[in-house]
Amino acid sequence: MAKQPSKTSTRASRATGQSAEHRVLDDVDRQIIGALERDARLSVRALAEQLHLSRAATYARLQRLLDDGVIEGFTARVVPHLAGLQTTAYIALQIEQNTWRSVSAALAELDYIDSISLLGSEFDVLALAHAPDNQALRALVLERIQAIPGVIGTRTWLSFEEIRGAGAPWAR
């Protein structure tokens, strides 16, 4: 299989707005993605058997999805509180105009930041953070995030519980 991009390079490319060409997925592509979202440890052989395809066809399609950037890599879904990350928060940021690239790239490098969304609202950026405790969250927001050039202000909401949805339609 192709070499996977590092977590840092993948986060940085997303944070700077670089992306692969939009590609139309057919039913088989969606089935491959859905199967891998349910179990990223599936071997090509098991995936081929599940989809009733040859191993060669499955491998070629999987390789194309990787090469095209549709699949960025393979990962485990971690339950944050069971991994020692007891505090979950959404952090909204107001930033100076035209600093979203540098701010989102800096956020992507911080520990405890799970996802970053650029918004069209009163806030410009929304980050999801999972930290070990309130003190770590406090340091993240007040010392690390507010020190990023271009950040004007933040607002933090603690999350009492996270509920995962069913995911994308192909994951079902």
pLDDT in tens, 98-138: 999 999 999 999 999 999 999 999 999 999 999 999 999 99
Predicted local distance difference test score (pLDDT) of residue 172: 63
Pairing mode of beta strands 151-159, 87-95: antiparallel
Predicted local distance difference test score (pLDDT) of residue 4: 42
Report the distance separating Cα 7 and Cα 22, nearest Å: 21
pLDDT in tens, 141-152: 999 999 999 999
Question: Going from the N-terminus, what domains does the chain have, and what CATH number goes with each?
Answer: 26-77 (1.10.10.10), 80-159 (3.30.70.920)
The predicted model scores a pTM of 0.72
